[in-house]
Structure 1
Amino acid sequence: MERFKSFLVFFIPFIVFFIYFTSNNEHNPSSANHMQHDYVEIPEGYQVPSVYLSVTQDLSGTWLLSVDTTHFRFAPEKVGSDDPSFNEGHAHIYVNGKKINRLYGHFYNLDTLKKGENEIMVTLNSNNHGALAYRGKPISSRVVVENGN
């Protein structure tokens, strides 16, 4: 019985700390705070970026995300800078509301998608990870694809 009590004294705090730290990590895609990165407002006088995306199924059955931008350059070498950027940075990819990865270029293989409707969203992000916005509206694009497989 004493060994069991000793085990519980160790195990319960371990589980509590584990849950707390994994659920509050802002870079954990399943964290509720993950989409809470600050916004970086595009100031007047800058060209306003835009993003357009398409998702197609390839012959192997996986899904290819294609992202086109205007007035925006992917700059993976500058990701993590403390200074905001307005016309360069990276993108964040969300599938059904869950962030799955960063994007540093124009194409990304989404692999397989669940059967039925899937919402794919891409946001443009500053080098400091803040989501770019203009006049309070995030610069993003979304599509819904139907996976019949």
Structure 2
Amino acid sequence: MRYFKYALILTTAALLSFKLFAQQEMMDHSHMPIAVPSDTPTPALSLKLLKDSMSGYNLILDTQNYDLSVPPEGTMNMQQMMSVTTNDDTGFLQGHAHLYINGVKIQRIYGHALHLPANLFKSGINTVSVTLNNHGHMYWTAQGKKIVATLYVNDQTKEFITYRFESFPSKVENTH
């Protein structure tokens, strides 16, 4: 009987280890950091989340020193995708953003406003995070920190946005 208990414990431990390994394998490891070059203005990012008059929410990205854009038309080789791209007129970095709700990547963002359906949110506390990324999906960093903004929202409280974190906040609202 003692050997049966040990076998059961070892089997359970092996199954839990396999499950953890499988979850780690399913995680997206392609999103690596890329540093903002020292001769380029550091992008800033702040978020607003407003209840939509019909349904869901409207997310507004307030960026500075950043050109939200779609990838260039045609094919890009891997080196081009993973490199720094700047707007020739402004000198600002170019790229897109990634939207995460409750830690799950939802979509890419190529503009400053988008509608979020209510079914993306659970009742109670939710997180809405946005990172700035180059067209190779690498996330931008400055001063060793990821450029990210996160809102903690709770649809069960009077104050909808309960906490805000911005690694490099925009200094003036509603600027792009």
Specify the TM-score bucket, using the shorter chain as the normaliser: 0.7 to 0.9
Distance between the aligned counterparts of 1:52 and 1:125, measured in 2?
A: 15
- One of 120, 132, 135 as aligned partner of 2:128: 120
Q: One-letter code of the match for 1:82?
A: M
Residue ranges of structure 1 left out of the alignment (5+ in a row):
1-19, 25-30
Using the TM superposition, give the Cα deviation of residue 77 of structure 1 relative to its aligned residue in structure 2, in angstroms. Answer: 3.2
User: What TM-score, normalized by structure 1, do the two folds share?
Assistant: 0.73
Structure 1 residues 61, 82: closer, same or farther in 2, change over 3 A?
closer
Q: Is the 8 A contact 1:84 1:130 kept in 2?
A: no
Alignment equivalent of 1:53, drawn from 14, 27, 47:
47
Unaligned runs of 5+ in 2: 1-21, 86-92, 158-176
Length-normalised TM-score, structure 2: 0.62
Report matched runs for 1:1-149 at 5 Å: 31-33=26-28, 36-78=30-72, 81-85=80-84, 87-112=93-118, 113-148=121-156
Please tell me the root mean square deviation across aligned C-alpha atoms, in Å.
Answer: 2.3
Tell me how many residue pairs correspond in the alignment.
122
CA offsets, 1:10-54, max 9 Å, x none? xxxxxxxxxx8xx85xxxxxx4225x5111101211100011101
Q: Where in structure 1 do 4 or more consecutive aligned residues deviate above 4 Å?
A: none
Q: In 1, Cα distance between the equivalents of 2:59 and 2:49?
A: 5
- Which amino acid counterpart does residue 124 of structure 2 have in structure 1? G
Which protein is bigger by CA-based radius of gyration?
A: 2
User: Distance in 1 between the 2:143 and 2:42 partners?
Assistant: 10
